[in-house]
Amino acid sequence: MDTRYSRQILFAPIGRAGQEKLRQSRVAIVGMGALGTVLSNHMVRAGVGFVRLIDRDFVEPSNLQRQMLYDEADAADHMPKAIAAHAKLSRINSEVAIEPIVADLTAFNAEQWLTDVDLVLDATDNFQVRYLVNDVCVKHGIPWVYGGAVSATGTFTTIRPGVTPCLRCLFPEAPRPGEMATCDTAGVIGPIIHIIASYQATEAFKILIGAEEAFNPNLEHFDIWHNHHQQIKVAHARHANCPCCGQREFSFLNPDTQDGQAVSLCGRDTVQISPLDSMSLDLDALASRLEALGQVERNKFLLRFHVAPHTLVVFPDGRVLVQGTDDVSQARTLHAKYIGA
């Protein structure tokens, strides 16, 4: 251990005792896109003992500009991001237990995947999933680090249930669709990803080794193109009527209140349709059925069915990404026609 982590051990705030705490720690990363690839790289290289990678998507060529763990072969093979990341990270540090989860984080599985860890790192691209993470973490008293980046701007803050404001204290309502820029509408440059994720990772190390004197109590915002940095003091932003940490009403964990079966992915020209119940699809049988109707591409993790101008990406857990439309009704029609209602 001394050779691999020697420079990290020499950093006095971590030292040998802190390194051992990292080795015994468990972290879940939600989202393996741009932020997630940087975060997981930091966690694995630093020797965090267990890292769970949760992501629903697969690698595409447009990811390669900023999602540092993936390469052209991953995009050509349509590899699920969690699987591709696991392959790369396992070669970086074989001492770390890495668990890839190819699935959507929902009210049905969030507590299963986020409650047996010491820390959750947010690398998602939408507030609905962040509110779900917030509900789980507040309910179970698990710290988590929020982060987001788009264009040349980014924001992060650490949420420690019972100590700091929770996400709904800071952002009581999610932005409406179209209100916020996305990477697909405003673009993004790689450096802001590394800056935000590196701040998140640093806060993660502080939490995992218990360096309370160094915790950052603020919400930080950066615009690296225009050379702006805002440090917003939020320590006193907790309020008793917060529905989550104040009233302990975890509405995002209630499947009955979630309209998550079909959702348009902002800026992606894609609709995701998820099964209401857990299931396991026979992708080989589905491929055989669809081959007479359009072009089928298949790997061990997913099936892509092209029927111009749309592409249906089908996962073994029953999730389907309908690409080429942001109309939920049209996506449901295509799903029912080719996959089944």
CB 249 within 8 A of CB 264: no
Contact between 314 and 320 (Cβ < 8 Å) = yes
pLDDT of residue 317: 87
**The residue type at 267:** G
Q: Where are the domains of the chain?
A: 5-256, 261-339
* Cβ contact 324:269 at 8 Å: yes
Question: For residue 329, with 0-12 CB atoms within 10 Å meaning exposed, 13-18 middle and 19 or more buried, which class applies?
Answer: exposed
Taking alpha carbons only, the member of 327, 290, 288 closest to residue 305 is: 290
Task: Name the CATH superfamily housing domain 261-339.
Answer: TATA-Binding Protein (3.30.310.10)
Nearest to 202 by CA among 184, 214, 213, 188: 214
DSSP 206-252: HHHHT-GGG---EEEEEETTTTEEEEEE-TT---TT-TTTTT---GG
How far from chain centre, in Å, is Cα 306? 27
Kindly indicate whether the domain formed by 5-256 is annotated with CATH number 3.40.50.720: yes
Tell me the pairing of strands 153-159 and 218-223: antiparallel
Q: So what's the pLDDT on residue 285?
A: 87
Strand 295-298 to strand 303-307: parallel, antiparallel, or no bridges (unpaired)? Answer: antiparallel
Determine the Cα–Cα distance for residues 63 and 198; give it in Å rounded to an integer.
19
To 10 degrees, the CA torsion angle through 10, 46, 141, 132?
A: 150
Contact predicate 68/36, CB 8 Å: no
Interstrand relation of 228-233 and 262-265 (parallel, antiparallel or unpaired):
unpaired
Q: Give residue 267's pLDDT.
A: 64
- For residue 144, what pLDDT is reported? 98
Structure tokens at 14: 């971590």
- The three-state secondary structure class of 321 is strand
SS3 42: helix
Is-contact 218 232, C-beta < 8 A? yes
Cβ atoms < 10 Å from Cβ of 213: 7
Q: What pLDDT is stored for residue 20 in this prediction?
A: 98
The reported pLDDT for the residue numbered 179 is 56
Give the bridge partners for 153, in sequence order: 150, 223
How far apart are alpha carbons 78 and 57 in whole angstroms? 9
Which mean pLDDT values do the consecutive 10-residue runs of the chain (341 residues) have? 89 98 98 97 98 93 95 95 98 98 90 98 90 97 97 97 96 69 78 98 98 97 98 94 96 72 76 78 88 90 92 91 87 81 50
